[in-house]
Amino acid sequence: MNKSDQNVLVDSFGRHHDYLRISLTERCNLRCVYCMPEQGVVLQPQSHFMTREELVHIASVFVKLGVKKIRLTGGEPLVRKDVEAVIEDLAKLPVKLAISTNGVLVNQFIQTFKKCNLKAINISLDSLREDRFNLISRRTYFEAIINNVELLIEEGFHLKLNAVLMKGFNDDELIDFIEFTRNRPVHFRFIEFMPFNGNQWDWSKGFAYHEMMDNINAHYGATVVKLEDCKNDTSKSYKVEGFKGTFAVISTVTNPFCDTCNRIRLTADGKIKNCLFSANETDLLTALRSGKEIEESIRESIWNKKSTRGGMETFEEFSNKDLNQKNRSMINIGG
């Protein structure tokens, strides 16, 4: 296998990339502490971002090269003014569509999702306690989000809930999160706290995979069942016997899953990030606007992907602020 093989985006380690995450905007209606600096971020001029037509064109090139799934992210993707048209355009491509959202506005787009066969929705939900949620998000949309979670369940969507767990912050809700799956067919995922520019990362706040599982097993004992994970899953999945839903841990910090990675990120300003933690980017939008073909740039970017976390292979490297802070803020990358 080599980088010139037709309709396959493959890196030098033989990993096939068929999953594209497209950030629709850097704007968001929340200010979550692990994602965005407290003072916010400097917004680029609107002309620096992909138009609807440019976004769809670039997406179609990725599909031509073998992408089979597209997830829309942000910022908050649903605050983009033409998001409905973008979803409708992408739905015409032969891909599975999904979206990651904070859940504030999803009730306004239920019919669009159904019309476009967008069934997979991820919602960030870092606390089940309203006062704490407001502290984490620096906003007061808790009730709207919980109502929309229940609405999506009622409407039959495949729903994943994501919580970034931090010690002394929301780690005491771990069992509450799992109890949320007792009578609801949802998949609750717990994410280790990851470093990004401006989020004041310190692993002393980190809640590790093995610590989570120790707490869960101590509470539920032998009723915790390990589920079979798919080849490219980023999470390790479990359920409690008798519960309608399931749960999982995304252990990016303590137990990375890079060897089976199939993901590519396209930022709202049209740049490829071949890894969430890579400081290197490939500018597709400028090339496209200059009338250049972008296929070879895409192939080259994927081919040059590092083996692990943008080249930070050890925990010590990953914890080094001189390395992990070279990246953008999460809000600028896309979830």
Q: Is 203 exposed, middle or buried (0-12, 13-18, 19+ CB in 10 A)?
A: middle
Per-residue pLDDT tens over the stretch 30-55: 887 767 666 666 778 889 999 999 99
139 and 185 Cβ atoms separated by less than 8 Å: no
**What is the C-alpha to C-alpha distance for residues 162 and 34, in angstroms, rounded to an integer?**
13
Instruction: Please give the distance of CA 302 from its chain centroid, rounded to a whole number.
Output: 19
Question: For the CA atoms of the chain, what is the radius of gyration?
Answer: 19
Predicted pLDDT of residue 5: 57
Instruction: Please give the distance of CA 174 from its chain centroid, rounded to a whole number.
Output: 20
Helix or strand (DSSP H, E) at 159: strand 158-165
Domains and CATH numbers, the chain: 19-333 (3.20.20.70)
Per-residue pLDDT tens over the stretch 78-130: 999 999 999 999 999 999 999 999 999 999 999 999 999 999 999 999 999 99
Per-residue pLDDT tens over the stretch 154-211: 999 999 999 999 998 899 999 999 999 999 999 999 999 876 555 566 777 889 999 9
Q: Would you state the structure tokens that stand for residue 15, as one six-digit string? A: 């990993």
Per-residue pLDDT tens over the stretch 265-305: 999 999 999 887 787 899 999 999 999 999 999 999 999 99
Percent above pLDDT 90 for the chain: 68
139 and 131 Cβ atoms separated by less than 8 Å: no
Predicted pLDDT of residue 307: 87
DSSP letters, 42-93, are PPPPGGGSPPHHHHHHHHHHHHHTT--EEEEESS-GGGSTTHHHHHHHHTTS
**Stated pTM of the model:** 0.90
93 and 65 Cβ atoms separated by less than 8 Å: no
165 and 193 Cβ atoms separated by less than 8 Å: yes
Predicted pLDDT of residue 230: 85
pLDDT tier at 323 (50, 70, 90 boundaries)?
low
- Quote the mean pLDDT of the chain: 89
**What is the C-alpha to C-alpha distance for residues 187 and 149, in angstroms, rounded to an integer?**
12
